[in-house]
Amino acid sequence: MKTLKGPGVFLAQFVGSEAPFDNLDNICAWAAGLGFKGVQIPTVETSLIDLRLAAESKTYADELTGRVAAHGLSITELSTHIQGQLVAVHPAYDEAFDGFAIPAVRGNPAARTEWAIDQVKLAAKASANLGLNAAATFSGALAWPYFYPWPQRPAGLVEAAFAELGKRWRPILDVYEECGVDLCYETHAGEDIHDGISFEMFLDSVGNHSRANMLYDPSHFILQQLNYLEFIDIYHERIRMFHVKDAEFNPTGRQGVYGGFQSWLDRAGRFRSLGDGQVDFKSIFSKMAQYNYEGWAVLEWECAIKHPEDGAREGAAFISDHIIRVTERAFDDFANTGVDADMNLKMLGLK
């Protein structure tokens, strides 16, 4: 068994224009002061990382590692959630997602897609230069507008969407293979990869690629009402990243999973700060230890109620308290009688 690493913190929800969230050194000092041991860096944030330079310059990558290490921290992984989203965008979402891209490619879906693909590939090379073995992303979505079949979906629609998704992602995954890095898709509503079945469909579309893996985040499964513990049993071999995020689901006579178009505060299903929701983290951390997960446990703070700085402070302690230092020996080793082949045969009535 392995003892996982942590606590880490995903910086995407904290980076901003004011100190201590305005640059890499300041935000690392803040994270270290709360007890975090690692930071997960969103590569779209230029105040934290120059992605292209990290991919092209080992010297810059080493300097980046050193700056983070100076605060007693490690870089856990790089994230291309934003860019991955733009690898596959249904036209219905073109305008909404255009703001995620650089100005030069806005209003040009084909150019935006190429930019996004290049960005995700750069993250593979940057991860290798940084000595990392996993990176996070979203799959994007072509079929998502049709997830609830009304009117009836035309035959072959979903299959065509996943075939195109695989066509776009397979060359990217090949770059990750060349770099020795796992690409971990967050199973998330709004993505074509949003649960186990859709992940399996994606695997089929990319030839069961060994670098196509998962970022496990139980909060999304609370909102879907999916068995998030059994999910680990089924997919543990593909789970290479872990977002520690809480959620709750409180259906009423007026709304359920779909939320009735309400704000996050008023939805039946909503994200919460760690310890304030319904996720059974004791069982999750036990299963992670059972299945030899050796990556990081990374806080992703999202909450409709609590202040983010309070959520971060409490989250660091919460994760630390849940990390299981695995045992190096069996609890009943004290009663070990040793190895005796003859005795074994006698006990089995074979001698």
Q: What local confidence, expressed as pLDDT, does residue 1 receive?
A: 78
**pLDDT of 330 over the 70 cut:** no
Look at 239-248, 256-265, 301-310, 332-341 and tell me which has the smallest mean pLDDT. 332-341
**pLDDT of 335 over the 60 cut:** no
Q: Which of 265, 228, 262, 268 is nearest to 248 (CA)?
A: 268
Amino acid at 234: I
Q: Report pLDDT digits (tens) over 87-110.
A: 999 999 999 999 999 999 999 999
Average of per-residue pLDDT across 329-338: 63
State the burial class of residue 66 (Cβ atoms within 10 Å of its Cβ: 0-12, 13-18, 19+).
Answer: exposed
Give 328's contacts (C-beta < 8 A, 6+ positions apart).
Answer: none
CATH (one of 2.60.290.11, 3.40.50.850, 3.20.20.150, 3.40.50.970) for 5-347: 3.20.20.150
Confidence label for 168 from pLDDT (cuts 50, 70 and 90): very high
Confidence label for 39 from pLDDT (cuts 50, 70 and 90): very high
Domain map (residue ranges) of the chain: 5-347
The total number of residues shown for the chain amounts to 351
Percent of the chain with pLDDT over 90: 92
**pLDDT of 323 over the 80 cut:** yes
Confidence label for 348 from pLDDT (cuts 50, 70 and 90): confident
Distance CA 118, CA 87 (A): 9
Average of per-residue pLDDT across 62-73: 98
Q: What does pLDDT average to over the chain?
A: 96
Whether omega for the bond prior to residue 151 falls within 30 degrees of 0, making it cis, is: yes
State the burial class of residue 317 (Cβ atoms within 10 Å of its Cβ: 0-12, 13-18, 19+).
Answer: middle
Average of per-residue pLDDT across 216-243: 98
Which run of H or E residues covers position 25? helix 24-33
In the DSSP assignment, the letter for residue 199 is H
Q: What local confidence, expressed as pLDDT, does residue 16 receive?
A: 96
**pLDDT of 123 over the 90 cut:** yes
Q: Which of 7, 1, 71, 2 is nearest to 296 (CA)?
A: 7
Q: What local confidence, expressed as pLDDT, does residue 347 receive?
A: 83
What Å distances lie between residue 283 and 29, 232, 288, 292, 324, CA to CA?
Answer: 32, 10, 9, 14, 11
In the DSSP assignment, the letter for residue 155 is T
**pLDDT of 232 over the 60 cut:** yes
The predicted model scores a pTM of: 0.94
